[in-house]
Amino acid sequence: MTCRICEKDYSGIIYEDDDIIISLAEKPVALGHLKIFPKKHYTIMEQVPDDEIKTLFNTANKISTLLFESLQAHGTNIIVRNGIPAGQELSHFSIDIIPRRQSDNINFEWKPKRASPEQLEAVKKKLSETTSDISIGKSTETREIVSKKEDNKQETIKEQNGEKNYLIEALKRTP
């Protein structure tokens, strides 16, 4: 099976339905390293509709459980590489699920960077000001239900949805 848009060729498929493909990673960092793909082509996470995001992450959760049960993993890493600076190699969105064991020598450790209290305060202010634009924690579905139930809030919610989100715009620089 091949994506018609980016020509991503799937191999090592362990599961497939109308919406998703789960396959062995082509460059596994551990035995049982899996990738979950939406069948429709999206480059980055922001393009994936809310209901498909739900399906993909519900699946990631189930696959993680499967790795604990069938491969006796001691832990799992669930990773999205969103954009080239984040290590994204394929132009087709995917979620990596990596089974982990004690002392497996896979190194995801990051070194904390030093930041001044002023820098931290500035970034906190900048980010908390923009979180109201993106209706955090609410899917599109939920927003529709909310706007039907609470007439007085309808306008505010519509405005929020229509507003341009600069954080997300910045992420659109894609492979």
Beta bridge partners of 100: 75
Contact 58, 21 (CB under 8 A): no
Of 3 and 36, the one with the shorter C-beta distance to Zn ion is: 3
Residue 167 Cβ vs Zn ion, minimum distance, rounded to whole Å: 24
Of 35 and 92, the one with the shorter C-beta distance to Zn ion is: 92
Residue 111 Cβ vs Zn ion, minimum distance, rounded to whole Å: 34
Of 43 and 76, the one with the shorter C-beta distance to Zn ion is: 43
Of 147 and 174, the one with the shorter C-beta distance to Zn ion is: 174
State the residue for tokens 């998703």. 20
State the residue for tokens 């900048």. 126
Please give the Cα distance from 13 to 3 (Å, whole number).
Answer: 14
Interface with Zn ion (CB under 5 A): 3, 5-6, 8, 41, 92
From the centroid of its chain, how far is CA 11?
A: 22
Rg of the chain taking only CA atoms, in angstroms: 19
Residue 20 Cβ vs Zn ion, minimum distance, rounded to whole Å: 13
